[in-house]
């Protein structure tokens, strides 16, 4: 609770939280509140500009852009959230464990994370769609798996740094069980870092989901998503150059807010500050590099 209050004290965090609350609201109630049916085609009003009837105009099939934006929020957000959850579930426990298991398993875990890092999102997602079938679940699985190394490395770096702290060593010497140490000393320090990473990864996942729907992977038309709307606007650029602006702005606001929130959590909780002090250790430099992927 005190963390939330500290977060609220930062102006950029307040802005980000308000924007994200708005997005969450749209995700829940967007399709119910949409002024038009997002799939209804007003065939006599194709590619119109904003008007009283259609506040943001219509797309190439005469569908209401505002309604599609509102209704599309849910699929876009759920997709990104699912990918982040999969990534965290795969990455955080393994990251914690890798600080404790023997050097051989640790080496192998690091190599697996290396391998996942080198696979490009889009190519991997295409391969998953081509082998396991094209759908939202498969696409999210693909993104989640490729996101997991970020969580793995962040968690591992923090856990490794904490293991050599004197109070953790003292606890272990006094006979605390590993599980107890993990829960009391490690987890509370790992959590803010996981939160920062989640916010960053959610922003990145949102962009990747959009990119995939642009490629025709994941959510299949006519279901509206931000990325899908951007993609379909592309074919009509000559007629309507401003069409990509609305979904683009919405996406920018969401991803930007997530990035701002990540920075604010870092400032409010001091996550990653201990790592910055010990810059020379390979684990932390790796962590910083993995952070660079997301940003």
Q: Using CB under 8 A as the criterion, which residues of the chain lie in contact with other proteins when the complex forms? A: 111-112, 114-115, 117-124, 126-132, 134, 203, 207-208, 210-211, 214-216, 227, 230-231, 233-234, 237-238, 241, 244, 248, 251-252, 255-256, 259, 289, 292-293, 295
Pairwise CA distance, residues 283 & 193, whole Å: 15
Pairwise CA distance, residues 142 & 79, whole Å: 11
Least Å from the CB of residue 178 to other proteins: 28
Cβ contact 126:215 at 8 Å? yes
Cβ contact 188:282 at 8 Å? no
Please, which residue, 143 or 186, has the CB nearer to other proteins?
143
Least Å from the CB of residue 29 to other proteins: 24
Please, which residue, 28 or 132, has the CB nearer to other proteins?
132
Please, which residue, 192 or 227, has the CB nearer to other proteins?
227
In a 13 Å sphere around the CA of 222, the CA atoms on its Cβ side amount to 12
Please, which residue, 182 or 201, has the CB nearer to other proteins?
201
Pairwise CA distance, residues 159 & 287, whole Å: 11
Please, which residue, 2 or 238, has the CB nearer to other proteins?
238
Q: What is the largest CA-CA distance in the chain?
A: 78
Phi, psi of 79 (to 5 degrees): -55, -50
Nearest to 272 by CA among 203, 205, 191: 191
Least Å from the CB of residue 179 to other proteins: 30
Least Å from the CB of residue 62 to other proteins: 22
Please, which residue, 171 or 245, has the CB nearer to other proteins?
245
Least Å from the CB of residue 99 to other proteins: 20
Least Å from the CB of residue 177 to other proteins: 33
Pairwise CA distance, residues 259 & 51, whole Å: 33
């Amino acid at each position: 609770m005190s963390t939330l209050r500290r977060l609220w004290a930062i102006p950029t965090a307040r802005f980000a939280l308000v924007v994200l609350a708005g997005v969450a609201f749209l995700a829940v109630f967007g399709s119910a509140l949409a002024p038009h049916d997002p799939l209804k085609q007003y065939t006599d009003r194709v590619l119109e500009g904003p008007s009283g009837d259609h506040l943001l105009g219509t797309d190439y099939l005469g569908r209401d852009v505002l309604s599609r934006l509102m209704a599309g929020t849910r699929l876009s957000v759920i997709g990104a959230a699912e990918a982040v959850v999969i990534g965290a579930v795969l990455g955080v426990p393994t990251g914690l464990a890798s600080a404790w298991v023997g050097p051989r398993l640790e080496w192998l875990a690091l190599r697996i994370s290396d391998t996942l890092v080198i696979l490009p999102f889009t190519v991997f997602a295409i391969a998953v769609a081509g082998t396991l079938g094209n759908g939202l679940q498969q696409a999210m699985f693909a993104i989640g798996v490729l996101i997991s190394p970020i969580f793995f490395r962040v968690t591992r770096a923090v856990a490794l740094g904490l293991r050599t702290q004197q109070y953790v060593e003292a606890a272990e010497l006094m006979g605390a069980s590993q599980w107890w140490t993990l829960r009391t000393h490690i987890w509370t320090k790992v959590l803010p870092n996981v939160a920062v990473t989640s916010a960053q990864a959610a922003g990145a996942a949102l962009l990747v989901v959009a990119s995939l729907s642009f490629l025709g992977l994941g959510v299949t038309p006519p279901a509206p998503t931000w990325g899908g709307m951007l993609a379909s606007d592309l074919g009509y650029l000559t007629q309507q150059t401003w069409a990509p602006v609305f979904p683009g702005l919405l996406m920018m606001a969401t991803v930007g807010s997530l990035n701002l929130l990540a920075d604010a959590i870092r400032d409010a909780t001091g996550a990653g500050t201990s790592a910055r002090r010990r810059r020379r250790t390979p684990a932390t430099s790796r962590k910083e590099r993995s952070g660079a992927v997301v940003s």
